[in-house]
């Protein structure tokens, strides 16, 4: 269990990291994904679902080089996908693409910030390749599989490493633009095929105030916006506005001001179900274990408000805010993947049939949507779901699991020490590939509550696939 601790054993970090000793759970606006370290959030709305693509900072056990496992540097091999319909309970979909999907790249590290956009039923994933320019992958689905249609960089200035952090936006006239760059800002117009340039790359002949990297380009209310990570360090979230997709850009200051609690950031901004959200990154998840610096980042989100002139009201640092508001109640009377959670710190997740590895040569090509499972479960860990609507009352709970040992599942509401509404024991199924259903009788669960699936008396390996209430 490398560098992993249950929340129950790290309460001494409570003052700095926002953990309450009374409830033994995180308070405040904590990172929204906990099973992996994530960065560079890129949201996209598809139908009624909000997807967020992220880059992936490796945990020590996922770093290929034994000599680098405790390094403070970047170790990034693939890109991840998450989804929600209520902004608080997120489903993980695992890696949707990796460096291996760009066979022309020469480095096995550096899967930096991406953005995925949709056009004409296709999904285009734009990715920097760590000193090899910007590539593009295409899929018929946000889940993938993603394929490289051109077999070379879309943009690559071999004289420098400025070609990073692409952001793509298609204007109302159908013209698509791509911005990128650190520390300078560049843009180019894309052809309708979204995989070739219409004309030459343009470098802005002026400096956007405090611009460093991570641009995020969008249009709203008659204004064009370029949000970005401000000059390091610490990096904050700044933005500029323009009346044209090509500028000139006028800096409007900060969305979130610099703070010594953070050193890096990267914005992703989206409107969803009548609200506006700004995603960014921090080190708050890592700080549950250590304050020694490593590039192990985590993604957080806040709601933002626009003034009448289009400017954005400043927001406090993530941990100084209330948790994000839930948009709709969660329905437990359906198959719920075990990797769906509002909070799930400590254990891990993986796609069925795919070995977890930080070695690029061992990674599969982009696989598309595959079932996932939760594993590496330890005493005191739990899955929390917010705002679960039990309606007139649940009668039973069933969970699909495999095991070479056993564990007790204790179901609670309104807190990790809250009222117990059911219990079951997952017993040995013969192997971790042999899944069986284990059931619990549910009592006294009516209306809307936060729901906790708590794990006790863990012995051996136990994997979880999905659960359902009746």
Of the candidates 343, 49, 50, 295, which has an alpha carbon nearest to the alpha carbon of residue 41?
A: 50
293, two tokens: 């610096």
- Tens-place pLDDT, residues 294-319: 999 999 999 999 999 999 999 999 99
% of the chain at pLDDT higher than 90: 88
- pLDDT at residue 3 is higher than 60: no
The alpha carbon dihedral of 69, 268, 25, 452 has a sign of negative
Residue 11 lies in a domain: no
Interval 97-111 mean pLDDT: 94
Please check whether residues 244 and 364 belong to one and the same domain: no
DSSP string across 290-339: --S--S--EEEEEE--B-TTS-B-----GGGSPPPPPSS-B--SS-EETT
The alpha carbon dihedral of 383, 141, 48, 302 has a sign of positive
- Picking from 291, 320, 349, the residue at the C-terminal end of a domain is 320
Number of domains observed in the structure of the chain: 2
| Sequence-ordered list of residues with C-beta below 8 angstroms from that of 65, at least 6 positions apart, any chain | none
- Dihedral through CA 281, CA 284, CA 285, CA 286, nearest 10? 100
Interval 431-446 mean pLDDT: 97
Query: What is the distance between the alpha carbons of residues 8 and 23, in angstroms, rounded to a whole number?
Result: 10
Please check whether residues 387 and 248 belong to one and the same domain: no
Q: Which CATH number goes with the domain that contains 302?
A: 2.115.10.20
Please check whether residues 137 and 280 belong to one and the same domain: yes
Please check whether residues 354 and 401 belong to one and the same domain: yes
Q: How many helices (H) and strands (E) does the chain have?
A: 1, 29
Please check whether residues 116 and 262 belong to one and the same domain: yes
223 or 232: whose pLDDT is higher? 223
DSSP string across 28-63: SS--S--SSEEEEEEEEEETTEEEEEEEEEPPGGG-
Residue 45 lies in a domain: yes
Please check whether residues 414 and 274 belong to one and the same domain: no
Residue 9 lies in a domain: no
Query: What is the distance between the alpha carbons of residues 219 and 232, in angstroms, rounded to a whole number?
Result: 26
Please check whether residues 225 and 123 belong to one and the same domain: yes
Contact (CB, 8 A) for 425 and 439:
no
SS3 361: helix
Its domain, for residue 259, covers 28-320
- pLDDT at residue 12 is higher than 90: no
Interval 77-91 mean pLDDT: 98
Please check whether residues 251 and 372 belong to one and the same domain: no
- Tens-place pLDDT, residues 358-406: 889 889 999 999 999 999 999 999 999 999 999 999 999 999 999 999 9
Please check whether residues 368 and 315 belong to one and the same domain: no
Of the candidates 163, 166, 168, 96, which has an alpha carbon nearest to the alpha carbon of residue 130?
A: 163
- Picking from 274, 289, 320, the residue at the C-terminal end of a domain is 320
Residue 3 lies in a domain: no
Please check whether residues 248 and 100 belong to one and the same domain: yes
Please check whether residues 298 and 354 belong to one and the same domain: no
Query: What is the distance between the alpha carbons of residues 28 and 257, in angstroms, rounded to a whole number?
Result: 18
Residue 287 lies in a domain: yes
- pLDDT at residue 5 is higher than 70: no
Please check whether residues 416 and 295 belong to one and the same domain: no
pLDDT of residue 451: 98
Query: To the nearest whole number, what is the mean pLDDT of the chain?
Result: 93
Residue 14 lies in a domain: no
Q: Which CATH number goes with the domain that contains 437?
A: 2.60.120.260
Residue 330 lies in a domain: no
- Picking from 275, 295, 320, the residue at the C-terminal end of a domain is 320
DSSP category for residue 460? S
Residue 34 lies in a domain: yes
pLDDT of residue 26: 61
- pLDDT at residue 19 is higher than 60: no
């Amino acid at each position: 269990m490398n560098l992993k601790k249950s929340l129950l054993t790290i309460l001494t970090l409570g003052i700095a990291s926002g953990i309450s000793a009374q409830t033994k759970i995180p308070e405040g606006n904590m990172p929204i994904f906990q099973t992996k370290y994530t960065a560079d959030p890129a949201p996209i709305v598809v139908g009624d679902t909000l997807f967020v693509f992220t880059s992936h900072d490796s945990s020590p056990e996922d770093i290929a080089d034994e000599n680098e496992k405790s390094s403070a540097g970047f170790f990034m091999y693939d890109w991840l996908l998450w989804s929600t319909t209520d902004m608080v309970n997120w489903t993980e979909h695992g890696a949707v693409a990796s460096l291996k999907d760009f066979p022309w790249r020469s480095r096995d590290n550096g899967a930096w910030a991406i953005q995925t956009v949709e056009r004409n039923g296709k999904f285009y994933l734009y990715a920097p390749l760590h000193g090899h320019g910007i590539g593009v992958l295409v899929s018929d689905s946000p889940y993938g599989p993603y394929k490289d249609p051109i077999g070379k960089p879309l943009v690559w200035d071999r004289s420098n490493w400025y070609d990073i952090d692409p952001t793509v936006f298609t204007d109302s006239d159908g013209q698509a633009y791509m911005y990128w760059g650190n520390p300078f800002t560049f843009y180019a117009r894309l052809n309708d095929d979204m995989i070739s340039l219409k004309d030459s790359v343009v470098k802005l002949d002026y400096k956007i105030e405090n611009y460093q990297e991570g641009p995020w380009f969008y249009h709203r209310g008659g204004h064009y916006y370029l949000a970005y990570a401000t000059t390091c360090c610490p990096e904050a979230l700044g933005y500029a506005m323009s009346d044209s997709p090509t500028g000139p850009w006028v800096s409007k200051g900060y969305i979130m001001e610099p703070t010594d609690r953070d050193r890096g950031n990267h914005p992703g901004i989206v409107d969803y179900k009548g609200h506006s959200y700004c995603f960014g990154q921090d080190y708050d998840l890592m700080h549950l274990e250590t304050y020694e610096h490593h590039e192990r980042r985590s993604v957080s989100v806040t709601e933002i408000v626009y003034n009448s002139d289009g400017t954005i009201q400043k927001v406090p640092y993530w941990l100084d805010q209330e948790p994000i508001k839930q948009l709709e109640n969660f329905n437990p009377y359906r198959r719920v993947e075990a990797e769906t959670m509002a909070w799930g710190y400590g254990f891990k997740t993986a796609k069925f049939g795919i070995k977890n590895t930080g070695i690029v040569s061992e990674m599969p090509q982009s696989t598309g949507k595959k079932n996932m499972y939760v594993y590496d479960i330890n005493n005191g860990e739990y899955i929390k779901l917010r705002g679960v609507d039990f309606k007139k009352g649940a009668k039973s709970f069933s969970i699909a699991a495999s095991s070479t040992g056993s564990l007790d599942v204790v179901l609670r509401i309104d807190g990790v020490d809250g009222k117990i509404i059911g219990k079951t024991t997952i017993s040995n199924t013969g192997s971790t590939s042999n899944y069986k259903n284990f059931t619990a009788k549910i009592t006294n669960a009516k209306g809307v509550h936060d729901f906790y699936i708590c794990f006790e008396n863990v012995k051996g390996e136990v994997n979880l696939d999905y659960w359902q209430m009746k």
